[in-house]
């Protein structure tokens, strides 16, 4: 039976992909790629010649019904994002939902993601945590941060380098100077780095050290 495969791809180091993922990418009829140019580098590295089609946040609303019907008609598809697991702060949810509505099989492979290594590497409690993705840029931002300040689980956020300092300062303003935090950047890459401290220390550090690359922020829970 044909199905949609959700295939995690490396978040930096090309070696961080499973044998099963490589096999699936070779065997499916079509690979749906967030950025075909980016995915082509991975496919070339592993000698994969499967045809690709573009699937990203700008066209997914138009394409999901057609893709789900093609799968139902017998084509096997693999969905990949630029890095990590599809549908985690990346396109994928709409297509998954449409496939389930049409009773089309969906299978998610295990693989690379930035949030779990960053959590483990932070030294903060990992038995209970919440993943918030990216904070809103404007509308609802203050309310979201206020709610997170009350959270009694470890908090994981994604952030872009040019917004990191503002986010640390906004968190500091609501959660206080002493809330423990870590900032991980360039996970799995040559210049991978994790900086640990409280919000005041990290805001001070990144006010003079301009970060680069993808960033994961891990924040200690509110003390009971």
Round the average pLDDT of the chain to a whole number and report it: 95
Higher confidence at residue 150 or residue 89? 150
What token pair was written down for 165? Answer: 């300092």
The CATH class of the 3-108 domain is alpha beta
> Tell me, what's the pLDDT at 125?
96
> Tell me, what's the pLDDT at 59?
87
Of the candidates 89, 78, 77, 32, the one whose C-alpha atom is nearest the C-alpha of residue 55 is: 32
CATH 3.30.950.10 for domain 115-219, yes or no, is yes
* Confidence band for 89, pLDDT divided at 50, 70 and 90: confident
Bridge pairing between strands 154-159 and 129-134:
parallel
d(CA 87, CA 56): 11
Dump pLDDT digits (tens) for 165-214: 999 999 999 999 999 999 999 999 999 999 999 999 999 999 999 999 99
* Confidence band for 223, pLDDT divided at 50, 70 and 90: confident
| Residue ranges covered by each domain of the chain | 3-108, 115-219
* Confidence band for 1, pLDDT divided at 50, 70 and 90: confident
- The answer to whether the beta carbons of residues 43 and 50 sit under 8 Å apart is yes
> Tell me, what's the pLDDT at 141?
96
Dump pLDDT digits (tens) for 7-56: 999 999 999 999 999 999 999 999 999 999 999 999 999 999 999 999 99
pLDDT over 70 for what percent of the chain? 100
């Amino acid at each position: 039976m044909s199905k949609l495969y959700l295939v995690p791809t490396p978040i930096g180091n090309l070696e961080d992909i499973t044998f099963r993922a490589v096999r699936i990418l070779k065997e499916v009829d079509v690979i749906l790629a967030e950025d075909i140019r980016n995915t082509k580098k991975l496919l070339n590295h592993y000698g994969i010649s499967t045809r690709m089609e573009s699937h990203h946040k700008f066209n997914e609303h138009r394409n999901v019904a057609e893709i789900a019907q093609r799968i139902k008609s017998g084509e096997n598809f693999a969905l990949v994002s630029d890095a990590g697991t599809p549908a985690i702060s990346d396109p994928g949810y709409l297509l998954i939902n449409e496939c389930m509505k049409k009773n089309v099989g969906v299978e998610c492979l295990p693989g690379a993601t930035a949030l779990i290594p960053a959590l483990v590497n932070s030294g903060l409690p990992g038995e209970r945590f919440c993943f918030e993705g990216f904070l809103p840029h404007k509308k609802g931002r203050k309310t979201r941060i206020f709610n997170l300040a009350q959270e009694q689980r470890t908090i994981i956020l994604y952030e872009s380098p040019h917004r990191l300092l503002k986010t640390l300062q906004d968190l500091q303003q609501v959660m206080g100077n002493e809330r423990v935090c870590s900032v991980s950047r360039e996970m799995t890459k040559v210049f991978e780095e994790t900086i640990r401290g409280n919000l005041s220390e990290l805001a001070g550090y990144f006010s003079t050290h301009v970060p680069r690359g993808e960033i994961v922020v891990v924040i200690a829970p509110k003390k009971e």
